[in-house]
Amino acid sequence: MKNDKPILVAGATGYVGGRLVPALLDAGYRVRAMGRSIEKLACRPWGRHPKVELAKGDVLDVKSLRKALFGCGAAYYLVHSMIAQKQNFVEADRRAAQNMVSAAESAGLDRIIYLGGLAEEKDGRLSKHLSSRIEVAEILQSGSVPVTDLRAPMILGSGSASFEILRYLVERLPVMITPRWVRSLNQPIAIRNVIQYLVGCLEHPETIGQTYDIGGPDVLAYRDLLDIYAQEAKLSKRWVIPVRVLTPTLSAYWIHLISPVPHSIALPLTEGLSSDAVCSDKRILSIIPQKLLTPREAIRTALDKIIEEQVDTCWADAGEILTPEWAHCGDADWAGGTIMQCGYRARINAPLEDVWLPISRIGGHEGYYYADGLWWLRGLLDRLFGGVGLRRGRRHPTELRVGDALDFWRVLDVVPKERLVLVAEMKVPGEALLEFKIDSVGEHSTELQMLSRFLPKGLWGMLYWYTLYPFHEKIFFGMLKGIAGAIEKPIVSGPERFTPRLHGSCALPSG
């Protein structure tokens, strides 16, 4: 039954939360979307919906959590610290769940709906990741606010980490030497069905305080999923050779090298695959009936979304945007070090709209308009040293939102036809920003600026900056020419080096 109280979605910018919010809106609910960045929330397609409230909050900050929950009727708890906290995610998830219990009780919440994990112990063991998911459920259920726990196995959908691992394994490796977990049983569920169960719980008060297993219609081994993906992707049969010596850790490092999913996420996911995940409780089927997609249908739907470039949310959406403090003020003493910078510009005989188009498409399949081989090499080195590399690509070929992953960058700020600011997430001895700015300088003329800013950490950071500095001019000049070439418009003046203006009220020292 709907009422006037908003429904809080904690984790609204994550993979599941980003799809749940529009589903709740379609069902007629008022939604309060909570995240650590209002800018990131506001850039979502639903960010300005009349029935959406945006709330800045962090589950590790109980004060902000209480404020976000005030006045809400129910809350979805879709938070997981695996991306943000990496190896410390267990303790972070424990603290976050305890904060949620306290804040929910203070706010007088009617109920909490939690998306947990499904697994069966093997040899008396359970992976750290799945044990944490179960512990979070137990902590939430220990409070006075009733909790609905939906225990899900592997979730199949375009952009999910589990699907990306499956996708890259099959597409990159015709022959796979795999751990024995490829024989473990799973009952994968399509993201579409997960969302319908989550929304359906609000419509059925009998689900309050209950725990349910949710899964798809088929139980199969992971190696069967590999075969199904190959068939749906029109690939030749993949040969799978299970061996005893390949540990989850080695598997995770291999996944890290061939896929966009970093080792810190691949490891807990592969460890979880060593356990069977099969529904033993099927009560939810009669309470919230729906057509459950088979794994083949879920994979086909996900592939269609990727081909059509209509991926709504991605695993890389989650996590905090780590904005360097000096991005807002470049005073070296205040920032705690010397900020290095270089700027290049060119005047192009084209209107703003034309110049913005290639900037909005940068990265991913489009590349960087110059020396893509060097960018690829930088991405490969980043992967080898444990970084994210270039394989994350981008969520959409032309659309950019604050918080989007873009290769080894993340979108820090974007104002169409004005600027794009990227913060580096590759392995670097410091903090780096890359900014594109465009200004109209006449009826049909636009100045395009490229600004690189870097706060080095220690001697290695200084050596890194000055070692790469000679390449900046060649690469930036080439990129400016390449962007002009992409829109087939002539460069009126430049490319040339220039000294960037004062940044806010602070001067940035030149490198």
DSSP 295-334: HHHHHHHHHHHHHTT-----GGG-S-----GGGT---HHH
Please tell me the distance from the alpha carbon of residue 430 to that of residue 16, in angstroms, as a whole number. Answer: 32
- Helix, coil or strand: residue 431: strand
Token pair of 101 as six digits? 């219990």
Helix (H) or strand (E) holding 51: none
Comparing 30-44, 117-131, 358-372, the range with the smallest average pLDDT is 117-131
Any idea which residue has 């959590």 for tokens?
65
May I ask the CATH class of domain 7-317? Answer: alpha beta
Whole-Å CA distances, 196 to 22, 113, 143, 202: 12, 13, 26, 10
Token pair of 472 as six digits? 């900046």
pTM across the whole model: 0.75
Q: Rounded mean pLDDT of the chain?
A: 85
Q: Find the mean pLDDT for residues 276-282.
A: 89
Please tell me the distance from the alpha carbon of residue 279 to that of residue 118, in angstroms, as a whole number. Answer: 8
pLDDT of residue 507: 36
Q: Is the pLDDT of residue 38 over 80?
A: yes
423: Cβ–Cβ under 8 A, 6 or more apart, which residues?
Answer: 321, 322, 323, 324, 327, 409, 410, 412, 431, 432, 433
Question: Other CB atoms closer than 10 Å to residue 370's CB: what's the count?
Answer: 18
Query: Above pLDDT 90, what percent of the chain?
Result: 45
Q: Is the pLDDT of residue 309 over 80?
A: no
Please tell me the distance from the alpha carbon of residue 432 to that of residue 368, in angstroms, as a whole number. Answer: 17
Q: Render pLDDT for 51-72 as a digit per residue (tens, 0 to 9).
A: 999 999 999 999 999 999 999 9
Please tell me the distance from the alpha carbon of residue 92 to that of residue 12, in angstroms, as a whole number. Answer: 18
Q: Report the topology of domain 325-498.
A: Alpha-D-Glucose-1,6-Bisphosphate; Chain A, domain 4 (3.30.530)
- Confidence band for 146, pLDDT divided at 50, 70 and 90: very high
Comparing 114-123, 305-314, 373-382, the range with the smallest average pLDDT is 305-314
Tell me the backbone φ, ψ of residue 113, rounded to 5 degrees. -115, 125
Any idea which residue has 């997609």 for tokens?
293
Q: Where are the domains of the chain?
A: 7-317, 325-498
Q: Is the pLDDT of residue 358 over 60?
A: yes
